[in-house]
Structure 1
Amino acid sequence: MNKSCGLEKVTELEKKINNDYSNIAGMVVLKDGKTLYENYFNECTATSRIHVYSVTKSIISILIGIAIDKGYIKSINQKVLDFFPDYTIKRREKTIQNVTLKDLLTMTAPYKYKFTPYIKYFTSDDWVKFTLDLLGGRGQIGKFRYTPLIGPDILSGILVKATGQSVFDFAKENLFSPLGITVESNVTFHSKEEQLAFNKAKNISGWVADQAGVNTGGWGLTLSPMDMAKIGRLYLDGGIWSGKQIVSTGWINESTKEHSRWEKINLPYGYLWWIIDGKEHAYAAMGDGGNVIYFNTKKKIVVSIASFFVPKVKDRIEFIKEYIEPIFENCVY
């Protein structure tokens, strides 16, 4: 923590965290690649690993980009079913045949469920097939529908089919290891209790997988706040890490461009990334409970916040814009 950032302001910030954002596990602020702030709360440390919920989706987006860069996937305009030649579609089911990767990445694919069938999903052995069975229906392709749980697993299935590797291995080789991010192993649940314990844990390093060994696409990854900050910095720096191109700048530009919009909250969406401010080129990966990777290209700032799940948390983006950015954007180091 640099004195030129104003210790008094930082003390006020931490007071605010303890009073209003008390489920935060840890927070990191980077500016121009330098760590200006790193602190942990709720008995967490730099070695703690927290379930980041839907931040996982943005990691999947990066992996799809890498798979395209490497030629495993030809185009996001490929049909989803091209990757699942053995999948049998029901008669008269036409919509599913036209859904593309882009529809999944932009949350504009239709599904047959009205209310999320959580219990059936969690008790299913094969989350990819379970989700494919719900894809399509009478809904319209191209209409935004945010599917936090059932939907993104199809992208995990596509990564497995396209690369011939597990999502975990592909991520480790092409993203985690190059960035110095540790994700130790697959995590599988044998009971509801195990899953609930995982959501509250601070010491499980891994990525949830179904019984078939396919990692989750929409949730289930544990990261540290510094791991999350590294992802933000990778995107801020155009996909380059230590002089090496990890993911193409083209993919970053495309995935952080508005392709759809959640009208209800008037928030633009890229490829599993939220567009926070088009003018400042600020974007975010956001997960339940207030987990966020935020980066602002204009201000060259990255903020990562890992949080334990509690319902109805205060808006983290508002917190970043009103309290965090004003403290750190003019820091001298």
Structure 2
Amino acid sequence: MSLFKARDWWSTVVEEECDVGCLLICNINNEDPPKDKIIVGGFSGTLRIFDPQGHTTEDGTVSYDYRPDHVLLETTLNYPIIQLAAGKFVSGSDENHLLVLYPDRLTVYSLIVTTGQTGYGHQSKLNTAYQHMFQRHAHSLVTGHFGSVKGKDLFAVLSLDGCITVYEQESIGFSCFLPGFLLPGPWGYTPKSDSFLVVGADWSLQCYKYQSLATSNENEKDTNNKSGGRRLAPEWTYQLGEAVLDVIVLSPQGFPPCIVILTHHSFFCFKDNGVLKFVKKLEYNPSSFTAYYI
């Protein structure tokens, strides 16, 4: 028996093959007052931005059924979309920008919405702010205020061979290799301890300080050399014993942060210092999850 009762508000069908990172909800066009948009990407390279809203029907009631004018933008970006993110990624700007991760590059876009002068509605287009090309194929990325930086968002990309590359917006910060790395998986960032959370090849949750990553490769000029990873040591580890499906870090204001981990058979919750708060065994096989405070 569920404690919650779900009710459909708005829906549409997107015939697209995608992963968990290809869905994003944010005020990407910096609308005032803020209003969230639904952004969907896919492996075909198609990007769609939806603006769900109600409309009055002929009988005077308000309906939230899908309409074609709910599509704010639909475009093809020519490369498979792995992940989407939003934040203050452009120097000198406090506005949200869209970051799109491809296998061999990432691109930061700004969404420009022009109010229509006729009954045809608004016109939207993506403008490229900047782009970074990769030496290695990307797997996923995380964003945050790395190093307790203020007023801007940084992002880090994890490659298929275990290389973490940190980007300070338009410039590259540093690269380093994780020790004992075999296959990429879910990872996250906790801002209070300024640490990255990764899952090791032995199914252990590992925490690496941002400062440790930054200093581990400070003397390495060639990022193709993996010797930098051997100097890294995690701040703490916890043996999960199961393959991890997703990692989410909750850091609301006024509440202590917590780390939630979903595996094939369990749900873990940790404090940001690695202390286990609780673990719940699941009676079903989950595929994904989301976490939030209520």
TM range (shorter): under 0.3
TM-score of the superposed pair, with normalisation by structure 2: 0.26
Q: Which has the higher contact order (CA 8 A, sep 6+)?
A: 1
In terms of fraction of residues, the more helix-rich structure is 1
TM-score of the superposed pair, with normalisation by structure 1: 0.23
In terms of fraction of residues, the more strand-rich structure is 2
Give the structure with higher Rg (CA): 2
